[in-house]
Each structure stands twice: as C-alpha cells, then as structure tokens.
Structure 1
Amino acid sequence: MTTTGSTASAAPDTGVHLDDVTATAPPPGPRLPRIVQTLLYGSYREHWMPRLRRRHGDVFRLRVFPDGDVVQLANVEHIRAVFGGPADVFHAGEGNVILKPAMGRHSVLLTDEDVHLRARKLLMPAFNGAALRGYRDLITELAGAEVDGWRPGPVRSHERMQAVTLESILRVVFGVAEGPRLDRLRELLRRIVDIGPVDLLGWHQPKLQRFGVWKRDAEVRAAADDHDEKHLEAVVKEAMRLHPVISEVARVVTRDVEIGGHRIPAGHGVMPSITMVQHDPAHHDDPHAFRPERFTGSGPATGTWFPFGGGVRRCLGAGFSLLESAVVLGEVLRRFRITPDRTRPERAKARNITMVPARGARLVITPR
C-alpha cells in the first residue's frame, strides 16, 4: 500500500492501480435520469445502495447532483487502498465540496495536501488523549444538566442528544462561556445542523439564495462566518456500526485510476461505503443484530468499522465523539431505565449529508 504523498501504484493485490491503469470500461450503474438518481440517493440510500451492490457488484457508479459521477466502493481492500493512497491523488477536500457553503473554504474538511496537513497539525493537540481527559468533567456536567431536566414518559432522544452535543461543542471546542455570544452561536449552530435536502439545493444555486429558506441559510452562514465505561464505549461503537451518522465518505481522484477492474476518470468521486461494509455479513456475523460484545477484546477486523472515515483524513474529533457519547449515555442510565416506544426497529432517513432516526429515536424513560 502506498504512503501519503507518494505517486507509486497501490499494492497489486488491492485491486487499486494508479500508474499502470489498463482498464478502459467504467463501472456499471443504474441508467435512471440524474435527477431520479439524486432523489433516490438523497432519500433512500440506505435501501437503494445494497440493491445496487447486489446487481452491479462492489464497484458501481451513480450520477447525482451536484457531484456529477461518483463511484461507490464496498470492497474492504479497495477502501483500504483509497484511505492509504497518496493524498495528491485522492482529494477528500474536493470530495467534501458540498459542505463549502456551511463550513467555509478554509475548513480542514475542505482542504487538501499540504494545506490540509498544516491545518490538521494545528488542531490535533486539542483532541489528543491529555486534552480529552481534561474535557471529561465539563461534558459530564453538561450531560447531567441536560438529563436532570427529563421527565418520565416518552422522549425524542435524538433531539435531546443533539442539544447536549451542540452544547458540548460550543463550550468545549469553541470555548464560549455563558452569555449573549453563546446564545447566538447556539442558535446559529442548531440552524446549520437542521438543514435539509431542499437547503442543499440552494447552497449551490446562487440565484435561489435571494428567496425564502435559502435566503435564511445565507444569512446564517454569514453570521456564523474503567469496565462501566469500556462497556458503554462498546455500546456506542456497535450503535455506530448499525447506524453510522454518514453513509459514506468521498474522495475526488485527480487522475485516472483503476479500481476493481474499472477505469475511474480524473475528476470523478469515489465513495467508500461505511454502511455497506458495516452491514456486510462477511465482516460482521448477524450484522443487523445489536451486539456490543463485538467491540470487547480485539474487536472487528481492521477496516470493517470506520464511521469516522480513515487514513490521514480520519475525523479529528473521533476520540471526542466516543468520549462524549459514553459519558452522556452513562449519565442517562444512572437516572433512567430506557425502552423503545415500539417493537419495530426505527428506520434511518437521510438529512443533508447525514443519516438520522426517522422518528427521532423515540424512547420511554422511567426513573431508576
């Protein structure tokens, strides 16, 4: 496998070739009109992607707005090669361009190569082990304050978890104290998180930004320019395996590459599919069952669980996210017993680039 910055070909057994591209055929894929593919991908990707994989194999092409041609990847060896491939060939910043209107062009998510590495090095100290240990008490305090306000009965837990997560980001990551500035940032961040597919359309159509919901979004962007714990982390990781927050990550190839015997032209996006790999029975026995014990001991094989992406572009906040999730879950369970409000599992639905519970993760809580 290649190292970052190299221009050598990936190892031959990965099925990914950079310098010795001999394939001429593009990946197969559906022939539906681009607008139809965009709608299916935007609203039903969790169901549509596995169907396309069964029909076309581990490498298949979609035509979606605004990205153009994108290639979904479901083979772990291909994905490892992409994550470990040269940063000058696989551009994650270009792959995340849909986020530019919300994040700004200088976001670490939207830069590539040397610019990205410099920004990442500056940010890494805020998310290392020592820093995370320092955040624990404040996260515990914020989580406790949130949960203390709950009352027995039904609760839309996704809404409440989002609230405490945003509060943690504002107080811990942004370092903003109580006061008018925190109140304003809290509202701005909440509104950005709540964007939907219609909002995304306006992000990339300047003419629409003069009207209605798109005008509001433009204004927001301008203004915003030991054991109990190890088990809890295993529960969190298994939840992320079953219900990853994003269904895939994106890279734009800067030159023609070959993946799985198919030619991917320069400028196309390749999208390692988190959901298809993490739901694959070849990697996770009985993949739709909730089994936190998968993450005790050695855990799943490398590359079969990657809700935070991989390689040099793995999410900087992964450790913070796992810490926060375990702490918040612990604070909830110390106070309440929780049960789902219905017997049927709650399906996921797409919201902007993320996947969320369709009914808000509704639970029934009772005091301990």
Structure 2
Amino acid sequence: MALLEPDVRELTDRRFRRMSGRSLGQGSGRRKRATGLPPGPRWPAWVQTVAVMRHRHWFHDYLHRTYGDTYTISMVPRGEQLVFFTRAEHTKEIFAGDPEVFHAGKANAILGPIMGEHSLLLQDSDEHKRARKLLMPAFNGQALREYQSLVTELAADEVARWSPGEEFRSLDRMNALTLEVILRVVFGVTDEERLGRLRPLVNATVDISPAILLGWGYPKLQKFSLWKRMVETQHALDQVMYAEIRERRTAPDLAERTDVLSRLIRAGEGEDALDDTELRDQLVTLLLAGHETTATALAWALYEIGRDDEQLRRAREAALHGDDAWLDAVLKESMRLHPVIPMVVRTLQRDATIGGIDLPAGTTVGPSIIVTHAREDNHPDPEAFRPERFLDQNPPPNTWIPFGGGARRCIGAGFSLMEGVAVLRAVLASYDVHAVGDDEPKVRNITSVPRHGARIRVSAR
C-alpha cells in the first residue's frame, strides 16, 4: 500500500509511542531483585546503567576482576537485571538455547523506537523465522559475489580522493564509504538528490549519545530538545525511505535489480509479502547494523596496521598479491581487539539454567564480548594485534563473537567481512598508512568507536 506524507508522519509517531514504552524493560512497575543471581555491584541502578552505557570497557573489566566469570548488574528504568557470562562453554549454552526461551528481540528493545517492531533484531519466534527466511537470499554467497564489484568500485573511488601526505580521521572516511556502500547495495539508491538527503539523516541517527537511547524508557523526555530533535530526524528519514520504497515497487526494472530492497520486494508472495512498514524496519536495521560497525572495524584495522612496520608490510603484500585470507584475518583481529558491540543479550521467557546457575524468567543474560575477547585463556597475549590467530584456523568456538551466534548470528556477517577485505585491498594497493598518535575506545550510541577517530597519515609507495 502506497503511503502519503501525512500517513508517514503518523506511522513514525505511532512507532515511537509503541516502542518507547518497551525500551529497557517489559511491562510496568519496578522489578523486585531476584535472589540467587551471580554477584554484582550494589550501586543504584542508574549508576550501573551509566557505567555500562558510557564507560563499558572499564566497567566490564572491573566487574570481571571483582566478581569473577559471571556477574549481575541492574538497569533503569525498572531495575531489570542483566547477568553476564564470560566463559566459552557458558556462551555456547546461551547461543544454543531454545529460541522460544532465549528471546533476543525483547533484549534489544532499547533499539525499538528507531528500528521499529518489525526489525529482525527485535523479532522473536515465528516472526523472526519468517523475516530471516526472506532476508537470507539477499546475503547468500551468490548475492555477495554480485555485490563485490560495486563495493570494490566504491572503495576505489574513495581512495582516489586521497592525497599523499594527507592526515585524517580514518573513522570519518570509513563511515562515509560504508554508508555509500549500504545506500547503494542495500537500498539501491543512485539518484544523487536522494542520496544527498539520506546521508545527513543517517549520520544524525547514528551519531547519538547513549542518553538518547536511555531516554526512550521515559517517553515524557521526548518533549525536550535532545530527544525531540531525534524524533524530527526520524520523521525526515522515514519520509525519504518510504518514498524510495513506494517508487521501487513500480520501477520498470525491478525484476533485474540486485539491491537488497528490490530483492525483498520480489521475495514475498501472498501472505509472505512485506508491506511498506516491514520493509522500512528491515532496511533501517540493515542500514544501522551494517554501516557504523564495519566502518569502525576498518578504522581500527588501519590504525593497528599503521602502528607497526611489519604489520604494514605484511598487509601491503597481501593487498598487492591477492592474499585476501590475510586481509580477512586483519579485519577479524581488529574486531577481536576492539569490540564494536559490547554484549549479546537474550531475555529469558521461562526459568533456565546456564553454567549451573538457576535463573528466573525475565532475567536478561548474555556473553560480554569485551571480556570474552580479552581473556588470556581464549586468546593468548590478548592485548597484542596478531592477525595470524585467524590464518588457516579459527579461535576456539565461542571465543570470537562480534556477530553473536546461534540462530541469531548476524545475517550480514559475510557481507561485512567481504566489504572490509575489499576496502583494505583498495587502500593498501595505493597507500602506506601510518598511525598518528594513540587512540582508545569511546561510546557512541550502542557502539564503541575510536575516541580520536583513529587518525592516520597516508603516503605513496
């Protein structure tokens, strides 16, 4: 069904009304703290929430050192309890858990006001199975091979704009590039006017403070400027996206197009057909989940390569001689050493036992990616950047989990790795990179990015 502009505005407002009430907790009233949970700080819930949202790298390390391999925190606004696990065998239990019991959608409710209730990240049970089935063909091996040439072309265009001796924040350049990839490969947008409207709206959606996300748990805050601006940004983004969906449905070349939006429009038949709202929610999910995360991993990879002459030499040789396996290992080690997402969470629909610990329904559980990736028993010498960990082998199961795992493993994992390798190849085939200064992670929305943008200087060889 085609949507007119007033209808789009009402759909956006309705989404915020429905999903804001679900953010950071289900139901109403403050939860009573369950007994028998693993230990954790007794600080007020709002202090713990700020710590995990704003200072997550320090906080997870502190919790692990203080309370051991399993620990519990409390979150506002209703005192929900999150139990984190850091051992691989416990992570395996969570990822292999019954999807009807271990709900990821409810655990991701904080993202609902922006991504929408039909988002793959927010769905559970049959709805999730249906959506994933429709999306999978757009990310299978054949589809990735079709996208690769466009990704390579866009990467080459970006690198061609660089100049020898130029110094810049690699995060900014990688964000611009991966956004262009997403807009063209996922949305299939080629009209420069529409691209010009989409770019700033997407950037405004991505570059938000964690305070915005926390605020969705308190709908009255949306009357104030910080949250009100975000709502208006979503109005504008939805108008452009629904217009693109509406026009694509009637495009004369729809049957020949290979972008994800066109594939999804063609995929559904009868009861499986996705309506405009479902398409919008899935596209925003792919846009936000597949844009900044890959850009951040690439920025950290360039930064790490640029800090060590031997790493630079090895990566340069790989780019020049088609050794994609090494470039893939570089990207994976970047994701291990610098986790972009801090955790993978599930909300229990029934009582469950994990690692011998009995947990009541309503508890949110999940592995801490930050701690898992930094454990010495998982990755020897964990603070060192060593791509060879991923060459001709993989780390032990459930010790490298940037894409989650089990039935909920990120559907775009293959696309992200393909894109990252193509970009590294394009950069290192033309330039050497040199890190400028030190960097450290900082929190932006739900992700962690280089605080100083992973600054590099490029030089011609």
Q: Same fold (TM over 0.5)?
A: yes
- The structure that is helix-richer by fraction is 2
Corresponding position: 1:30 with 2:123: no
Cα distance between partner residues in 2 of 1:321 and 1:352: 20
Corresponding position: 1:107 with 2:202: no
Aligned to 1:358: 451
Corresponding position: 1:94 with 2:144: no
Q: CA deviation at 1:78?
A: 0.9
Return 331-340 or 62-71, whichever deviates more: 62-71
After superposition, give the CA deviation of every residue in 1:11-32 in whole Å (9 maximum; x if it has no partner): xxxxxxxxxxxx9611110011
| Contact 2:166/2:458 (8 A) holds in 1 | yes
| Contact 1:24/1:263 (8 A) holds in 2 | no
Q: 2:140 aligns with which of 109, 128, 136?
A: 128
Q: 1:3-22 counterparts in 2 under 5 A? A: none
| Contact 2:369/2:402 (8 A) holds in 1 | yes
Corresponding position: 1:165 with 2:178: yes
Corresponding position: 1:178 with 2:209: no
Cα distance between partner residues in 2 of 1:119 and 1:153: 44
Q: TM-score, normalised by structure 1?
A: 0.90
Number of equivalent positions: 344
| Matching residue's letter, 1:76 | A
Q: 1:303 aligns with which of 369, 378, 398?
A: 398
After superposition, give the CA deviation of every residue in 1:70-109 in whole Å (9 maximum; x if it has no partner): 1111111111111011001100000110100110111011
Aligned to 2:343: 248
Corresponding position: 1:312 with 2:324: no
| Matching residue's letter, 1:256 | D
Q: CA deviation at 1:205?
A: 2.4
Say if 1:286 and 1:154 are closer, same or farther in 2 by CA, change over 3 A. same
Aligned to 1:322: 417
Corresponding position: 1:62 with 2:155: no
What's the % identity of the aligned pairs?
51
Q: Helix, strand or coil: the match of 1:299? A: coil
| Contact 2:88/2:397 (8 A) holds in 1 | no
Q: CA deviation at 1:160?
A: 0.9
Cα distance between partner residues in 1 of 2:160 and 2:384: 31
Q: Helix, strand or coil: the match of 1:365? A: strand
After superposition, give the CA deviation of every residue in 1:89-130 in whole Å (9 maximum; x if it has no partner): 100000110100110111011000110010000000010000
Aligned to 1:18: none
Cα distance between partner residues in 1 of 2:166 and 2:112: 40
Q: CA deviation at 1:262?
A: 3.0
Q: 1:144 aligns with which of 134, 147, 156?
A: 156
Cα distance between partner residues in 2 of 1:335 and 1:242: 26
Q: CA deviation at 1:173?
A: 0.8
Q: TM-score, normalised by structure 2?
A: 0.72
Q: 1:183-198 counterparts in 2 under 5 A? A: 183-198=196-211
Corresponding position: 1:349 with 2:362: no
Q: 1:200 aligns with which of 184, 189, 213?
A: 213
After superposition, give the CA deviation of every residue in 1:235-263 in whole Å (9 maximum; x if it has no partner): 00010010121011110001122223433
Q: CA deviation at 1:227?
A: 4.9
Cα distance between partner residues in 2 of 1:142 and 1:196: 29
| Matching residue's letter, 1:177 | T
Aligned to 2:62: 51
Q: 2:232 aligns with which of 219, 224, 228?
A: 219
Q: 2:361 aligns with which of 266, 275, 283?
A: 266
Aligned to 1:292: 387
Cα distance between partner residues in 2 of 1:299 and 1:261: 28
| Matching residue's letter, 2:393 | S
Cα distance between partner residues in 2 of 1:271 and 1:183: 39
Q: CA deviation at 1:210?
A: 2.1
Q: 2:95 aligns with which of 79, 83, 86?
A: 83
| Matching residue's letter, 2:349 | T
Q: CA deviation at 1:187?
A: 2.0
| Matching residue's letter, 1:199 | I
Q: Helix, strand or coil: the match of 2:365? A: strand
Return 257-266 or 127-136, whichever deviates more: 257-266
| Contact 1:24/1:262 (8 A) holds in 2 | no
Cα distance between partner residues in 2 of 1:177 and 1:227: 30
Q: 1:332-347 counterparts in 2 under 5 A? A: 332-342=427-437, 344=438, 346-347=439-440
| Contact 1:143/1:164 (8 A) holds in 2 | yes
| Matching residue's letter, 1:81 | E
| Contact 2:74/2:82 (8 A) holds in 1 | yes
Cα distance between partner residues in 2 of 1:317 and 1:82: 21
Cα distance between partner residues in 2 of 1:87 and 1:245: 25
Cα distance between partner residues in 2 of 1:313 and 1:150: 38
Cα distance between partner residues in 1 of 2:333 and 2:154: 24
Aligned to 1:13: none
Q: CA deviation at 1:357?
A: 0.8
Q: 2:327 aligns with which of 220, 232, 240?
A: 232
| Matching residue's letter, 2:87 | N
| Contact 2:348/2:365 (8 A) holds in 1 | yes
| Contact 2:348/2:361 (8 A) holds in 1 | yes
| Contact 1:27/1:263 (8 A) holds in 2 | no
